[in-house]
Structure 1
């Protein structure tokens, strides 16, 4: 699971703790979990996802657009005060800028880095064992409907799917076929119509010598694609089985 990978990375990369946005937000430091006050969540998430430094006035206006600048600035000060009061003092704030404190890890950033290493063909041994039970467990800020969150959520989802598909290729190259099948099926469960995920599964079956399994996987996808979109799989996908449409 990704939690294992995050825990391992935290040892070296998060001396100041870890901010969890999957299923969050909440903050962990030295084995202790800190809940984020309701009135401070959007500020903390905004600073974490946008990185920094961010202009203080602009942040206040974007998060509290109703009312004048003075009121927005007051809301920002209140949000910062609440964070510090409960021990989530991880935003550096001066009179001009805001940024996340150095040494604080963000689970989303760690998972994005995992995917980038796999897609880039430079995974660590730990990366190859970091397989989630399902992408539902990596739901970024569930229940949040801001446009900037929705865009980030979809961006993270795409990175994860590409990471899983790259993981399948790496596992096949190492003859770890059962793990490759598992990883590809997780990607398929997240997006059954995604042809690249289906291709990963078929390639894993073929690499293991299970031609019938590969053929059955193709047929299931072909039926699903037709029932849903009235479309056929690509010739490239069918070509993996050494066949062509007649």
Structure 2
């Protein structure tokens, strides 16, 4: 922490910093002789994200008001840090966020809360623009609302990005979803 100091001076600086923190926020930090941790009552945004994701991904259960807020399910892990060990942890968090946002979008869609469902799906799409399951959820929400044109628009966007980035086309199953909804009944 204090690179330009001796070990003894660094220990003294750490003790002073801990004393100052405890004077202002008593339970913020828990420190032992050889260990330092956040206090028991302290929660981090990462803990909140994982807890919300666990609730959203659990089968059944009610959707609480706090779980409809998709903001805790976004954001990078320690974005200003450049450490090798963070690469895997960031990817793990990204996967949790994607699955949780997708699950939230589906649950909100099933409740008929389409604007919130679209928001959750778009947040997942922002994390992984090439994820077909997210686009399928987004398209299904539009179709449930009766917005066939919006569903076509999202399909076109996805098709374009997928082709440009990977030279691939959407799956036949996704194309069929929109095609079936586009068929007009005979009058």
Aligned with residue 138 of structure 2, among 186, 201, 222: 201
Q: TM-score, normalised by structure 1?
A: 0.60
Unaligned residue ranges in structure 2 (runs of 5+): 181-187
- Is the contact made by 1:161 and 1:187 (CA closer than 8 Å) also made in structure 2? yes
- Is the contact made by 1:117 and 1:123 (CA closer than 8 Å) also made in structure 2? no
Report matched runs for 1:43-192 at 5 Å: 71=7, 78-79=13-14, 81-87=16-22, 90-121=28-59, 122=61, 124-132=63-71, 135=74, 138-192=75-129
CA RMSD, Structure 1 to Structure 2 (Å): 3.0
Structure that is richer in strand per residue: 1
Structure that is richer in helix per residue: 2
Q: Which has the larger radius of gyration?
A: 2
Q: Distance in 1 between matches of 2:15 and 2:86?
A: 20
Aligned residues: 174
Say which SS state the counterpart of residue 138 (structure 2) adopts. helix
Which one has more relative contact order, counting CA pairs under 8 Å at least 6 apart?
Answer: 1
**Partner deviation per Cα, 1:59-78 (whole Å, 9 max, x = no partner):** xxxxx9xxxxx95x985674
Unaligned residue ranges in structure 1 (runs of 5+): 1-38, 41-63, 65-69
Q: 1:126/1:189 Cα in 2 relative to 1: closer, same or farther (>3 Å)?
A: same
Q: Distance in 1 between matches of 2:94 and 2:53?
A: 11
* 1:232 counterpart residue number: 169
Aligned with residue 156 of structure 2, among 219, 223, 230: 219
- Is the contact made by 2:104 and 2:117 (CA closer than 8 Å) also made in structure 1? yes
